[in-house]
Amino acid sequence: MKVEKKTLQIVKSIAELRQLLDRNGRNSKTVGFVPTMGFLHEGHLSLVKHAKEQNDIVVMSIFVNPAQFGPGEDFVSYPRDIENDTLKAADAGVDILFLPTAEDMYPFEGGIKIIPGPQANELCGVKRPGHFDGVLKVVLKLFNIVDPDRSYFGMKDAQQLAIIETFVRDFNLRTTIVRVPIVREEDGLAKSSRNVNLTEIERCNAPIIYKALAQGAYHYDQKKEKEEIERLVAEIITSNSSGAIDYVSLLSYPGLTQDIKHSEEVILACAVKFSTTRLIDNIIMSTKDGSYVSNDDEQ
């Protein structure tokens, strides 16, 4: 298989991409896959950086997946900028950019569903029924199309990451999931495509989310009770911003259960809704000594 390492190849056809990446023609070259919904920022490019370090060929997909958006969610308004994304992908060293359409990805509807397990009943899954069904649907299709050796996911979407890791493990999918640390703005706000929808005042308020989580992590280190930590984080956010708390939860990770005492890692996660924008963030900690697990990018 011939792939120009320094020239971005844009592919829109599933059949063409499969032909390019046919495992029998790879000549032992490894493929790293970065699935995205576009409007690329430093977080996405960090995924590419890790993929380039560990693979011969890097494939990125950009597809705003309608299957994971519920009624009243921001599918139509979700930010899109394919022209700028293409330039960023090329500059980052992506080899193949896959740009499928919804018609190509979902030409038929046979009624078969992928139902996630109890991990989907916590955090974002509580108020977004069916969301992770749609995530697993598109992830399975993309894995089958690309057939990557490794697939790269950011730790900001920690619930999604946990569910995908479980899916790959339980269904013996061939790819290996690689966790990539969160990339943050200088003031601590986690990079997100949705940040552009914040008003000027909301953007000034938003960094309190990470500061509140850091305070919660400190109190976890001080052996405070689960409910006390969750209440503290919520109070800090509501007292210092206009954001409305969706949830603040301290759970086991990656199991996402209430039993935090028998898990090697725990996650302190929250979702905060501003006027038109819902932001998520998290910190992952070790249960052995209360220390932070590095889920922030230190580049």
291 known ligand binder: no
Tell me if 23 is assigned to a ligand binding site.
no
What single-letter amino acid sits at 57?
I
Whether 160 has a binding-site annotation, put simply, is: yes
Judge whether 44 counts as a catalytic residue: yes
Is 192 one of the annotated binding-site residues?
yes
Confirm or deny that 75 is annotated as ligand binding.
Answer: no
174 annotated ligand binder: no
Residue-by-residue DSSP string for the chain: ----TTS-EEE--HHHHHHHT-GGGSTT--EEEEEE-SS--HHHHHHHHHHHHH-SEEEEEE---GGG--TTSSTTTS---HHHHHHHHHHHT-SEEE---HHHH-S----------GGGGSGGGGTSTTHHHHHHHHHHHHHHHH--SEEEEEGGGHHHHHHHHHHHHHTT-SSEEEEE-B-B-TTSPBP-GGGGGS-HHHHHHTTHHHHHHHHHHHHHHTT--HHHHHHHHHHHHHHHSSPEEEEEEEEEETT--S--TT-SEEEEEEEEE-SS-EEEEEEEEETTT-PBP--B---
Is 173 annotated to bind a ligand? Reply is no
Q: Does 169 belong to an annotated binding site? A: no
Q: Does residue 241 have a known ligand-binding role?
A: no
- Is 153 marked as binding a ligand? no
Q: Is residue 27 exposed (0-12), middle (13-18) or buried (19+ Cβ within 10 Å)?
A: exposed
Q: Binding site annotation covers 142?
A: no
Catalytic residue, chosen from 44, 50, 131, 219, is 44
* Amino acid type, 129: P
Is there a contact between 34 and 152 (Cβ–Cβ < 8 Å)? yes
The annotation status of 60 as a binding-site residue, yes or no, is no
**Would the annotation count 19 as a binding residue?**
no
258 is in an annotated binding site: no
219 is in an annotated binding site: no
Binding-site residue positions for (R)-pantoate: 68, 160
Active site residues per annotation: 44
Binding-site residue positions for ATP: 37-44, 154-157, 183, 191-194
Binding-site residue positions: 37-44, 68, 154-157, 160, 183, 191-194
Binding-site residue positions for beta-alanine: 68
